Structure 1
Amino acid sequence: MKYEQRKKALVLLADGTIFYGKSIGIEGTVTGEICFNTGMTGYQEIFTDPSYFGQLMVATNAHIGNYGVNNDEVESEGIKISGLICRNFSFTHSRVDSDSNLFDWFEKHNLVAISDVDTRALVAYIRDNGAMNAIISTEIDNIDKLKKQLAEIPNMEGLELASKVSTKEPYFVGEENATYKIAALDIGIKKNILRNLAKRNAYIKVFPYNATFEEMEEWNPDGYFISNGPGDPEPLKDAQKLAQEIIKRDLPLFGICLGHQVIALANGISTYKMHNGHRGINHPVKNLITGKGEITSQNHGFAINREETEAHSDIEITHVHLNDNTVAGIRMKNKNVFSVQYHPEASPGPHDAEYLFDQFIENIQKAKVEA
């Protein structure tokens, strides 16, 4: 390990605030919107989640890397975060079924990460001042240059990123002779979503972010899915048009996270950028249909407008976030459509919301019977 090569490093925020730390041994400068995740485990899934594309991740857990990495615990091909900021970086690990240590994995992907940062102070600052662009760098002697570089980074609001992480060509997941056929729009899809659908006897065809309804319909699917993903949902006009076409035909449709926001926009409900978003695996949600509470995994910096949702004659709020009363789920009253603002496929957990995949399959079953 490169203990002796650990240079001083810094985090420079868009408002000029600086936090200092140490490089883990991979030199460089990277930019992105700074955010934090409160999960105590699952760091590898976080780093490979396409929804984090273009973001600098602050880990609130004090130790990162302590259980190494496993090649099966990824949500996409490769690391999607721009860089990592943590308190203590573990160069050694102690899990029997790990494939390597975290440093070697980062070095393979050339991911810039800095440790020894006062992450409690940094997270408190972000909570008070909101998410903003930032830069992490080992070039600590050229602050003016870093400030100029940071000033050129576009804001997340209005930024379309789905095209950066979506598949270029359609592909299939599951058994070809499965009972159900699902067409999924990839605007940043996680592998565990596909696993959850496949294990419910579904064969999935995954389409690129700009696929048309006609292209998806040609495969003759039983249901449609719109995935999670990064960036602002508002610029995703093709996805919104696709959702409108599916809704117009009253076909089974399920959306998660960015997909949830796309479905809201397709119904004329606006979205907005949150102060600092929801990111972690312990977010409390109430299911208004059953009255039950759920502990959920969340990762989003945008949300749908609650007042507009409540005023919409065709939409019912099904779930609310108990920390701030934001909309966490909706369904259409007279259409076979529902969506949630969190991750029922959460890996490594919690699994309180996995029933939503069963609900989607039940909706497909009903539609097939009625047809």
Structure 2
Amino acid sequence: MKALLMLENGMTFEGQGFGEPRDVLCEVVFNSAMCGYTELLTDPSYAGQGVVMTYPMIGNYGICYEDAESDRPWVEAFIVHSVSGIASNFRCDIDLDGYLKNNHIPGISGVDTRALTRCLRDSGTMRGMICFGDSINREEMKRKIAEYSAVGGVSLVSTKQPRDFGNGSVKVALIDYGTKQNIVRSLTRRGCTVRCFPNHTPFEEIKAWNPDGVMLSNGPGDPKNCMNEVRELKKLYDSGIPTFAICMGHQLLALSQGADTFKLKYGHRGINHPVKELKTNRVYITSQNHGYVVDAKTVDPAIAELSFVSMNDQSVEGLDYKNGRAFSVQFHPEAASGPLDTGFLFDRFMDLMGGSRI
């Protein structure tokens, strides 16, 4: 089936539909990864977004359910140059097209993703719409895009009830703003019992569980839409409970301590982003997925110091808090992009909690 992608600046890209042939509005972003699309599709941080893959062929190894980061995909649409008609991998459970159909997610292939990515880099992240069929009303598409505001957010993707994982000796409260399952796995294999709490959980309820530490997860959207969560994190920080924050959690913790955040022009999304650790001058290759960052100029040096910076644009990639009980990173140390380069951050968290690692 014919398909058309239109951006809010009026640019259009024709292609062929795959997955669910359903018209969709979304925020259009690009990801520079060559692989890992199963993890990407199921990452709650992509809720409400149509993802453009810069690598030309996607789908050649199919979908392996074991690699999923949540129990369902969250992307709003999937945009590729070429979708493989054959899934060749002994771990494959279903091909990409079938997986998207089963989960009612539209895709468009045959798109000049190089031109599309250049457009997003030059103009920044934009709203867009994908329509299917032989007769597409472009004026109607323009109207709908102009009226569209991003949907999704933390409340959509967060767990609705507390959930428990693992059976270790160290208790970790994981506040779920859109957590990836590999965060849970990284903790449980180090000997933790993890209780995953909804994003709106009052600090008093978390404290009543008597955790050894608190993990703040990744998640979608603008952190400033989560000011109730920020107020609870102020209480968490003041309590002195060991805290490790990733991505959205990193931004929310910074906001709770008086720093500010801002939106990047086109964000950081991929598995090849270099960051430098300032204390050692070591550079790590990291997985990233975010559109907002902490503003370095607003970080109070009496409260926190920069620990990591992006080698691409010098934006904040990590903070160490002066109370000695909290630290955070913008990238994903659980995502195995190095593949295990930054896993030591989980070991640091275990040491902070006084726990063992397995």
TM-score between the two structures when normalised by the length of structure 2: 0.96
Letter in 1 for 2:137: N
Verify: 1:278 aligned to 2:278, yes or no.
no
User: Which residue of structure 2 aligns with residue 170 of structure 1?
Assistant: 162
- Report the Cα distance in structure 1 between the residues aligned to 2:114 and 2:246, rounded to whole angstroms: 30
Letter in 1 for 2:213: G
Letter in 1 for 2:215: F
User: Which residue of structure 1 aligns with residue 327 of structure 2?
Assistant: 338
**Is the Cα contact below 8 Å between 2:169 and 2:192 reproduced in 1?**
yes
- Report the Cα distance in structure 2 between the residues aligned to 1:198 and 1:52, rounded to whole angstroms: 25
Verify: 1:230 aligned to 2:220, yes or no.
yes
Verify: 1:50 aligned to 2:44, yes or no.
yes
How far 1:267 moved relative to its partner?
Answer: 0.6
Choose which of 37, 48, 59 in structure 1 pairs with 2:53: 59
**Is the Cα contact below 8 Å between 1:160 and 1:232 reproduced in 2?**
no
Choose which of 321, 342, 351 in structure 1 pairs with 2:340: 351
How far 1:335 moved relative to its partner?
Answer: 3.6
How far 1:91 moved relative to its partner?
Answer: 2.0
- Report the Cα distance in structure 2 between the residues aligned to 1:360 and 1:220, rounded to whole angstroms: 17
Choose which of 279, 291, 297 in structure 2 pairs with 1:301: 291
Choose which of 243, 248, 256 in structure 2 pairs with 1:258: 248
Number of residue pairs matched by the alignment: 354
Distance change (3 Å), C-alpha of 1:261 and 1:40: same
User: Which residue of structure 2 aligns with residue 315 of structure 1?
Assistant: 304
Choose which of 111, 127, 135 in structure 2 pairs with 1:117: 111
User: Which residue of structure 2 aligns with residue 208 of structure 1?
Assistant: 198
**Is the Cα contact below 8 Å between 2:287 and 2:337 reproduced in 1?**
no
SS where residue 307 of structure 1 aligns? helix
SS where residue 234 of structure 1 aligns? helix
**Is the Cα contact below 8 Å between 1:192 and 1:347 reproduced in 2?**
no
How far 1:274 moved relative to its partner?
Answer: 0.5
**Is the Cα contact below 8 Å between 1:160 and 1:233 reproduced in 2?**
no
- Report the Cα distance in structure 1 between the residues aligned to 2:18 and 2:45, rounded to whole angstroms: 25
- Report the Cα distance in structure 2 between the residues aligned to 1:36 and 1:141, rounded to whole angstroms: 25
How far 1:334 moved relative to its partner?
Answer: 2.2
Verify: 1:134 aligned to 2:128, yes or no.
yes
- Report the Cα distance in structure 1 between the residues aligned to 2:104 and 2:136, rounded to whole angstroms: 22
Verify: 1:186 aligned to 2:176, yes or no.
yes
CA deviations 1:227-266 (Å, max 9, x no partner) are: 0000100121222122111111111011000000001100
SS where residue 183 of structure 1 aligns? strand
Larger deviation, residues 21-30 vs 353-362: 21-30
Distance change (3 Å), C-alpha of 1:341 and 1:189: same
Letter in 2 for 1:172: D
How far 1:49 moved relative to its partner?
Answer: 0.1
Letter in 1 for 2:198: P
Larger deviation, residues 36-45 vs 311-320: 311-320
Letter in 2 for 1:319: F
User: Which residue of structure 1 aligns with residue 10 of structure 2?
Assistant: 16
**Is the Cα contact below 8 Å between 1:185 and 1:227 reproduced in 2?**
yes
Q: Where in structure 2 are there 5+ consecutive unaligned residues?
A: none
**Is the Cα contact below 8 Å between 2:284 and 2:338 reproduced in 1?**
no
How far 1:24 moved relative to its partner?
Answer: 2.0
Q: Where in structure 1 are there 5+ consecutive unaligned residues?
A: 1-6, 367-371
- Report the Cα distance in structure 2 between the residues aligned to 1:304 and 1:210, rounded to whole angstroms: 22
Verify: 1:147 aligned to 2:147, yes or no.
no
- Report the Cα distance in structure 1 between the residues aligned to 2:223 and 2:19, rounded to whole angstroms: 36
Verify: 1:247 aligned to 2:241, yes or no.
no
Letter in 2 for 1:131: T
Letter in 2 for 1:142: N
CA deviations 1:148-200 (Å, max 9, x no partner) are: 22122115xxx77000000000000111xx12000110000000000000001
